[in-house]
Structure 1
Amino acid sequence: MKRYQLAVAAKEQEYVRRLAEYIRDSPFGQQWQLIAFTNAKALGEHVEKGYTIDLLASQPGLYAELRAESMVAAEQLDRILTVALVLKRGESNGQQQELLQYQPLPSLLQGLLDIYAASAGHSSSAAAVLAPEEGAKVVTVYSSSGGTGKTALALHLTNAAGSQHCRTFYLNLERWHSAGVWLGNTHYAGAEEGLSELLYELKSQPEHAGQWLSEHRKRHSLLKGDFLSACTNTEDRITLGADDAARLLALIKKSGQYDLIIVDLDDGMDELHMTLLESSDQILWLVSDDEGILAKQSLAYRYGEQKWGARFQRVSQRVNLIHNRAKKNALPPTMNRDGIPYMPIALPEAPEWHNATSAKLLSSPAYRAAAGRLMNYMMRGGEQHAVNG
């Protein structure tokens, strides 16, 4: 595996030491080799000698000092992707992309990775199958009934993709969400800045919304993907319009920071749902053997055909049914009575989750394995209909 060269220029020796130790002991260190500098002269000599630097993260003061002292180094710096490590936004006067120097190191390193990937057009080999030519691929987990296991599947798929080094964002757009229960994460409950604030940025300062997303997204150690806290004001989600939802999804999709977006969508078939389904590259529609759920699925499908006509017909080409809570060793059907194909991988019943307090992400080995197989199937391309629509 090729190791890329990351040069960090910061005056604080203790900061540089801690950063080096963290990188050495983290997965980041498998791909990146750190070269650290605490003064402009040493960095200038390194640059002038022509050593490779794939990404330079420098305090604005040191960077300006280096350019002023060495014409040779200044010319070579123009060819190096540079990020400004700032104490507050705007310190680089718009000359470089900025990252806050003092933030959690995992977030800082992820920010550096995102900037480098967006600049170089890089994506992981696993993600390359998923990602379309422009922006991230969108996979929406949907059902016409509540309680079918959408959130469990969406979260497990996010983990499975992240485990394959696919840069993944989990977007929960349910009215009444349960992601916090699965993650055991109080931050998801909406106590911190999240979807409400991002929606405000999109309306009031759309040009800054991408930067806001980079600064406020969160990461969960089990999820292996990014997410935003739920709406601090529940009314923001209840009144969320189709246009705002489309702008939100487009912002994340085109940010250059992700290969895959997993949308956790609640039941419904209004303009909001149709807009999000139309924006999806693939739709996983959960059903089970329960006759009531199967009946609701069929009724919702026929309603979509009657209500939305050609729009729904186009969307339906990207729909695959997922057989959830399948009996042990049961094979999913190939197609339902409405002609919708099933994914060839079923999700098992998880007895570990019969007690609501024990329903935690990755707590069922059988379910986790099935979700992993499903993600691998999608990454490999699967059947022509299943992936390409």
Structure 2
Amino acid sequence: MRNLQIMLAVEDEQYIEPFLLYARTGEFAKQVSVRAFSKIEAFLTAMGEDRPDFVLGEPAFLTPWLESEGGGRIPWAALGGGEESIALGGPVLLPFQPLNLLLMAVMDLAGAAQTSNGSFVSGKAEVIAVHSAAPGAGKTTTALNLSKQLGGRGLRVFYLNLETVDSSITFRSGSGGQQGAEGGLPELLYDLRAAKENGEACQFPLSRYASFQEKIKAASFSPLDRPDELLQMNEADTVLLIDYIASSGMCDVVIVDTDTESHERSRAVLSRADRVLWLLADDLLHMRKTAGWMSYREVRQPNDFYTLLGKSLFVVNRYGGRLENTLPRPDLRPAAFLSYIPSWKYLSREDVLLGSPIFQRDILALCEQLGLDESKGQKGSVRQSMQAAGGWQ
């Protein structure tokens, strides 16, 4: 379950920016995700590595792609009304028309079946990354509570922790979890790499490596004793892992928790995620660091940055009723708020972090805003799905 993935390829960056802004904030925000390119080489490279649901581009971009191996196997449309667009032999859409009409035409061409809630139906689980540009914003607490609430509402959830130093160990060990049949994440990474070298897909079920964690109502890998395997993971490994989990057929939503540092794993998570919950703290230094990180990425990697903005939902954590600090950028607009829980400062038991009625209320409201409810889940829990696949009992 995820939204329609669109690849936009046009030379004019001034066309890209408002397109991405509308896709992120307009009426189709919950139905589409857009990744944009203004350079032909970058577009062709991305098409060789990714498989979006639809390609919308100018003839200069589409022509070399359609002539390449594998070109044209994805639904596409030419953007422009000239002879070059018509000569490609496919659908043509006018670029300068109301964006709602343009996106509606794209969705019709992509054959995206509209359900009663307007979401795009796909065979893959939706991947939601929980991100912050500065530490201390409460990523793991938010990710764990989100997993628990979605799992409790009938969705099959997989919680994937890719932090170098795992801060969620308490919630995924002890009597609340059960060990997978094999070697967990290290064994899976080995099998994925071996299958890739042989030009194959990993044939083993997810239940071979993961286990159901009762505390968070989600499946997950057992915590690692050492971070060696994570430190060796590159971007390709991370995307391969996420794709395997999302395509397993055993979950509806994958919640990914990773470091704030910009290393290969975190970059891959932000790139692969269908949506990003970008956490903010109402703190002057946190806001400045977030704005600095955004400005750096905007200058150095504008296409990737605007794509990230297009699928991000800014969430203020530890909210006390009003924002004390001025937001440093106009595009940094909070869409949701999670309450500050003063008693958490004096906790002696970590599992209390999953039991605050006030925080659970806010997380449920966030789930509603994301359009995630039990109607989107398959029949049965993730526990039942994994048992049926021949995994642990």
**TM > 0.5:** yes
Does residue 294 of structure 2 align to residue 301 of structure 1? yes
2:169 to 165, 169, 180: 180
Does residue 356 of structure 2 align to residue 367 of structure 1? no
Structure with higher Rg: it is: 1
* Equivalent residue number for residue 171 of structure 1: 160
Q: Which runs of 4+ in 1 moved over 6 A?
A: 128-131, 186-192, 331-335
Answer yes or no: is the 8 Å Cα contact 1:210–1:255 preserved in 2.
no
Question: Would the alpha carbon gap of residues 235 and 307 (structure 1) be closer, same or farther in structure 2, given more than 3 Å must change?
Answer: farther
Does residue 140 of structure 2 align to residue 151 of structure 1? yes
Tell me how large the CA RMSD over aligned residues is.
Answer: 3.1
Answer yes or no: is the 8 Å Cα contact 2:281–2:287 preserved in 1.
yes
2:349 to 346, 351, 358: 358
Q: Give the Cα separation in 1 of the matches to 2:372 and 2:177.
A: 32
Percent of aligned pairs with the same residue? 27
Answer yes or no: is the 8 Å Cα contact 1:287–1:321 preserved in 2.
yes
* Equivalent residue number for residue 386 of structure 2: none
* Equivalent residue number for residue 193 of structure 2: 203
Answer yes or no: is the 8 Å Cα contact 1:140–1:263 preserved in 2.
yes
Q: What letter matches 2:356 in structure 1?
A: S
* Equivalent residue number for residue 252 of structure 1: 245
What 5-or-longer segments of structure 1 have no aligned partner? Answer: 1-124, 382-389
Shift of 1:323: 0.5
Question: Would the alpha carbon gap of residues 141 and 160 (structure 1) be closer, same or farther in structure 2, given more than 3 Å must change?
Answer: same
Q: Give the Cα separation in 1 of the matches to 2:201 and 2:176.
A: 23
1:379 to 342, 349, 371: 371
Q: Give the Cα separation in 2 of the matches to 1:246 and 1:208.
A: 13
**What pairs up with 1:293-332 in 2 under 5 angstroms?**
293-327=286-320, 329-330=321-322
* Equivalent residue number for residue 284 of structure 2: 291
Q: Deviations over 1:11-39 (max 9, x none)?
A: xxxxxxxxxxxxxxxxxxxxxxxxxxxxx
Q: Give the Cα separation in 2 of the matches to 1:233 and 1:261.
A: 23
Q: Deviations over 1:250-298 (max 9, x none)?
A: 0011111111110112102344333221211111111111111111111
Q: Secondary structure at the match of 1:354?
A: helix
Question: Would the alpha carbon gap of residues 261 and 380 (structure 1) be closer, same or farther in structure 2, given more than 3 Å must change?
Answer: closer
Q: What letter matches 2:193 in structure 1?
A: K
* Equivalent residue number for residue 346 of structure 1: 337
2:273 to 258, 271, 280: 280
Q: Which region of structure 1 is more displaced relative to structure 2, 212-221 or 182-191?
A: 182-191
* Equivalent residue number for residue 126 of structure 2: 137
Q: Give the Cα separation in 2 of the matches to 1:131 and 1:167.
A: 18
* Equivalent residue number for residue 62 of structure 2: none
Answer yes or no: is the 8 Å Cα contact 1:141–1:264 preserved in 2.
yes
Q: Secondary structure at the match of 1:371?
A: helix
Answer yes or no: is the 8 Å Cα contact 1:336–1:342 preserved in 2.
no
Answer yes or no: is the 8 Å Cα contact 2:279–2:316 preserved in 1.
yes
Q: Give the Cα separation in 2 of the matches to 1:260 and 1:178.
A: 21
Q: What letter matches 1:351 in structure 2?
A: P
Q: Deviations over 1:67-89 (max 9, x none)?
A: xxxxxxxxxxxxxxxxxxxxxxx
Does residue 160 of structure 2 align to residue 160 of structure 1? no
Q: Secondary structure at the match of 1:346?
A: strand
Q: What letter matches 1:135 in structure 2?
A: K
Q: Deviations over 1:309-333 (max 9, x none)?
A: 2122112111121101111x44799
Shift of 1:157: 0.7
**What pairs up with 1:25-64 in 2 under 5 angstroms?**
none
What 5-or-longer segments of structure 2 have no aligned partner? Answer: 1-114, 374-393
Does residue 236 of structure 2 align to residue 243 of structure 1? yes
Shift of 1:210: 4.9
TM-score (norm 2): 0.58
Q: Deviations over 1:94-148 (max 9, x none)?
A: xxxxxxxxxxxxxxxxxxxxxxxxxxxxxxx99x877742301111000112221
Question: Would the alpha carbon gap of residues 139 and 265 (structure 1) be closer, same or farther in structure 2, given more than 3 Å must change?
Answer: same
Q: Which region of structure 1 is more displaced relative to structure 2, 332-341 or 369-378?
A: 332-341
Q: Secondary structure at the match of 1:154?
A: helix
Shift of 1:366: 1.1
Answer yes or no: is the 8 Å Cα contact 1:188–1:230 preserved in 2.
no
Q: Secondary structure at the match of 1:159?
A: helix
Shift of 1:176: 1.1
Does residue 275 of structure 2 align to residue 264 of structure 1? no
Answer yes or no: is the 8 Å Cα contact 1:188–1:228 preserved in 2.
no
Shift of 1:334: 11
Does residue 224 of structure 2 align to residue 231 of structure 1? yes
Question: Would the alpha carbon gap of residues 231 and 182 (structure 1) be closer, same or farther in structure 2, given more than 3 Å must change?
Answer: closer
Shift of 1:187: 8.3
Q: What letter matches 1:201 in structure 2?
A: D
Aligned length in residues = 254
Question: Would the alpha carbon gap of residues 330 and 193 (structure 1) be closer, same or farther in structure 2, given more than 3 Å must change?
Answer: farther
Task: Choose between structure 1 and 2 for higher RCO, CA contacts under 8 A separated by at least 6 residues.
Answer: 2
Answer yes or no: is the 8 Å Cα contact 1:157–1:371 preserved in 2.
yes
* Equivalent residue number for residue 106 of structure 1: none
